[in-house]
């Protein structure tokens, strides 16, 4: 509301100044110059008064900007009778602030799209009917109807057979995604297919999209170090402007030359170029699923020299996947997996849930287990379709069926071995491992091309497992067996070499993310603590989005610097020309606007930054270790 009121006020000031300029020109060319002067003054005074109020407000908060130059130029033009020049400056300055609002509006369009998609209500199944309820009334476990075209209001799981959702507004993925029964659906995505039911798993305020909205609002309210640096530069530019104007008047005795110098001194390269370019970069990064919490982190991203990666859930997928199924009693592999998954439905252990997900992915219908007993850290015992099933670590299951654990030394380091027994006999083993993320190698190569000098792996896993994961990736260092405190120390030591970026996804990564110059969280399914501590959140669960994010950050910063250098250079050249009498005040004001428009249009080029899209080679399975919570794993 406040922003809308401010925009309307700026528009009104522009209309008054423009009307005064045009009406004055009509009277001037009609042979009535005295009336024209009065009309021009009437058009200038409101713009000058509004500008003075803005300057006083800035001075009260301790900020000194280049608005003072515009106020001096209008005041000097009025004092020395250059009313037409004053009217032109008033139109140009009020037009510049209007153009600033328009440019920032365009620059924030992707972020505005995120905010505008927030749903207000949801449709809930209740007592055999449907009811429309506010988002705040949704509770975990509620069954919601998501109609075609609806935005998913809260995080949940698909309760229907299938669902097709469009996540492009969140992740930049252009094609709809097919979700099977039980799959997680991210709030903020759009139903691109038939209506489906969703079982809420979180309240609206705790859902992914609510967190994204909070992050966007924080980003919009931020101010970059480069913008603060521009504020300091503005003092120097103000001093140079006043010095040239005074010198032109002193040495020539002509105050009109001083007026011409003041009106040609454009503040826009410093006032507008930096924020417009950086906000455009924020918006562009959001389009690719990289949510940067403000212009400050964006600018820091552009200067990153060292990258530290966590392993589990970051460089690797973080979810164990079945590599092989070994049958020991003639039972079919599909039957081993189906019975194990049916029993593991009663467990919330990550490995158990991975087995259930693997079975559902193969289209198995899982019966409900009975008489279930879970032994924490060991395994699960129960009945499935009248058969006694035991699932867990090899030693645990072997002891339950009266046999010795087998020799599994040939299994790769860090693999998770899950034994399955049926009706008192060892049925087989599920061998699981944590796969390297798609495109991890290509992503690292791309980051090196973007200027990242050092790439390190920091993990709490064993050294042999970490070495297996990083084989062939060409990392500059590997630090294994680290506690969260030791990860922080690694970040602090690497900061001595230059700005450091840390990427992680778990609660244990939050301290290191906070300690880094730029912390990046895998926000699609990462821990809330890491997302809160991070400066950047990857909305799509793909590590290869880092490359486009850094490329956009560097492009936006480069465009901001180019705009400032070109704009200030042209302004200084114009001031010198005015000081030597080659530009009149009116010509200087027109030149000012040409420079302003050119600078803003150049800054908006950040909206068209086209980063190289990462390739996604076929993933390979790699080992996992103590970072994974293994259900009775036997390395």
CA pair distance 46, 492, nearest whole angstrom: 53
Please identify which of the residues 67, 166, 310, 461 carries the catalytic annotation. 310
CA pair distance 287, 171, nearest whole angstrom: 7
CA pair distance 220, 235, nearest whole angstrom: 25
Task: Please give the backbone phi and psi of residue 157, each rounded to the nearest 5 degrees, phi first.
Answer: -120, 145
Structural tokens at position 353 = 């849930």
CA pair distance 402, 365, nearest whole angstrom: 31
Angle, CA 381 vertex, CA 377 and CA 382 arms, to 5° = 150
- Picking from 126, 286, 334, 268, the residue whose alpha carbon sits closest to that of residue 564 is 268
Strands 536-538 and 518-521: parallel
Q: Is 108 helix (H, G, I), strand (E, B) or coil?
A: coil
- Residue written as tokens 């990564």? 509
Quick one: DSSP state of residue 508?
Answer: G
CA pair distance 432, 355, nearest whole angstrom: 9
Do 320 and 430 form a contact (C-beta atoms < 8 A)?
Answer: no
Do 127 and 40 form a contact (C-beta atoms < 8 A)?
Answer: no
Structural tokens at position 172 = 């930049």
| 541 is a catalytic site residue | no
CA pair distance 448, 307, nearest whole angstrom: 10
Strands 416-422 and 196-200: unpaired
3-state helix, strand, coil in the chain (%, to 5): 50, 20, 30
Tell me the chain's radius of gyration from C-alpha atoms.
32
Q: Kindly give the residue spans of alpha helices, DSSP state H, lying in 61-124.
A: 67-79, 83-107, 109-116
164 - beta bridge partners? 178
Q: Report CA 97 to chain centroid distance, whole Å.
A: 28
Q: How many CA atoms lie within 13 A of 311 on its CB side?
A: 33
- Picking from 63, 46, 45, 48, the residue whose alpha carbon sits closest to that of residue 12 is 46
Q: Is 5 helix (H, G, I), strand (E, B) or coil?
A: helix
Q: Is 564 helix (H, G, I), strand (E, B) or coil?
A: helix
185 - beta bridge partners? 156
Quickly count helices (H) and strands (E) in the chain.
22, 23
> Which residues, 6+ apart, have CB-to-CB distance to 158 below 8 Å?
179, 180, 181, 182, 183, 185, 196, 197, 198, 199
Q: For residue 423, how many other CB atoms are within 10 A of its CB?
A: 12
- The separation between the first and the last C-alpha atoms of the chain, rounded to the nearest angstrom, is 60
CA pair distance 439, 272, nearest whole angstrom: 38
Q: DSSP for 256-305? A: HHHHHHHHH---HHHHTHHHHHHHHHHHHHHHTTEEESSHHHHHHHTT--
- Picking from 619, 606, 597, the residue whose alpha carbon sits closest to that of residue 102 is 597
Q: For residue 212, how many other CB atoms are within 10 A of its CB?
A: 25
Q: Which residues are catalytic?
A: 310
């Amino acid at each position: 509301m406040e922003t809308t009121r401010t925009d309307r006020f700026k528009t009104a000031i522009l209309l008054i100044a423009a009307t005064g300029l045009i009406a004055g020109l009509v009277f001037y060319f009609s042979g009535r110059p005295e009336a024209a002067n009065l009309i021009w003054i009437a058009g200038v005074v409101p713009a000058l008064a509004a500008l003075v109020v803005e300057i006083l407000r800035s001075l009260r908060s301790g900020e000194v900007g280049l608005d003072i130059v515009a106020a001096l130029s209008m005041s000097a033009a009025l004092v020395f009778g250059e009313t037409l020049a004053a009217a032109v400056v008033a139109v140009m300055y009020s037009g510049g602030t209007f153009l600033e609002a328009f440019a920032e509006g365009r620059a924030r369009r992707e972020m505005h799209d995120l905010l505008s998609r927030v749903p207000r209500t949801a449709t809930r199944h209740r007592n055999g009917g449907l009811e429309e309820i506010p988002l705040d009334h949704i509770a975990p476990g509620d069954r919601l109807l998501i109609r075609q075209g609806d935005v998913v209001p809260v995080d949940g799981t698909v309760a229907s057979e299938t669902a097709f959702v469009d996540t492009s507004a969140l992740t930049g993925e252009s094609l709809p995604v097919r979700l099977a029964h039980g799959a997680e659906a991210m709030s903020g995505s759009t139903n691109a297919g038939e209506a489906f039911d969703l079982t809420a798993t979180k309240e609206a305020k705790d859902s992914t999209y609510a967190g994204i909205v909070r992050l966007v609002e924080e980003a919009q309210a931020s101010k970059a170090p480069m913008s603060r640096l521009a504020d300091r530069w503005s003092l120097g530019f103000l001093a140079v402007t006043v010095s040239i104007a005074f010198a032109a008047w002193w040495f020539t005795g002509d105050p009109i030359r001083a007026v011409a110098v003041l009106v040609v001194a454009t503040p826009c390269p410093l006032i507008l170029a930096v924020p417009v370019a950086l906000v455009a970069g924020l918006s562009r990064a959001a389009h690719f699923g990289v949510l940067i919490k403000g212009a400050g982190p964006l600018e820091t991203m552009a200067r990153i020299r060292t990258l530290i990666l966590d392993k589990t859930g970051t460089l690797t997928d973080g979810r164990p996947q079945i590599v092989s199924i070994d049958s020991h009693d003639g039972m079919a592999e599909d039957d081993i997996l189906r019975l194990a998954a049916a029993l593991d439905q009663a467990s919330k252990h990550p490995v158990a849930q991975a087995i259930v997900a693997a079975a559902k992915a193969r289209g198995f219908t899982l019966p409900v287990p009975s008489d279930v007993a879970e032994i924490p850290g060991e395994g699960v015992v129960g009945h499935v379709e009248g058969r006694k099933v035991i699932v867990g670590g090899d030693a645990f299951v072997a002891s339950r069926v009266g046999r010795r654990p087998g020799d599994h030394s040939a299994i790769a380091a860090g693999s998770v071995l899950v034994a399955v027994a049926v009706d008192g006999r060892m049925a087989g083993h599920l061998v699981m491992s944590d796969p390297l993320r798609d495109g991890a190698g290509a992503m690292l190569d791309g980051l090196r091309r973007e200027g990242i000098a050092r790439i390190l792996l920091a993990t709490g896993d064993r050294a042999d497992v970490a070495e297996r994961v990083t084989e062939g990736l060409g990392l500059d260092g590997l630090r294994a067996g680290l506690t969260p405190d030791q990860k922080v120390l690694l970040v602090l030591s690497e900061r001595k070499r230059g700005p450091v970026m840390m990427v992680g996804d778990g609660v244990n990564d939050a301290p290191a993310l906070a300690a880094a110059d730029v912390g990046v969280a895998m926000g699609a399914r990462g821990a809330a603590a890491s997302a809160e501590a991070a400066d950047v959140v990857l909305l799509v669960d793909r590590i290869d989005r880092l490359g486009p994010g850094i490329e956009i950050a560097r492009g936006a910063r480069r465009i901001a610097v180019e705009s400032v250098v070109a704009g200030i250079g042209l302004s200084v050249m114009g001031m010198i020309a005015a000081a030597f009498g080659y530009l009149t005040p009116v010509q200087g004001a027109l030149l000012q606007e040409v420079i302003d428009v050119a600078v803003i249009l150049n800054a908006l080029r950040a909206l068209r930054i086209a980063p190289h899209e990462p390739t996604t080679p076929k993933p390979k399975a790699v080992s996992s270790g103590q970072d994974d919570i293994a259900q009775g794993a036997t390395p």
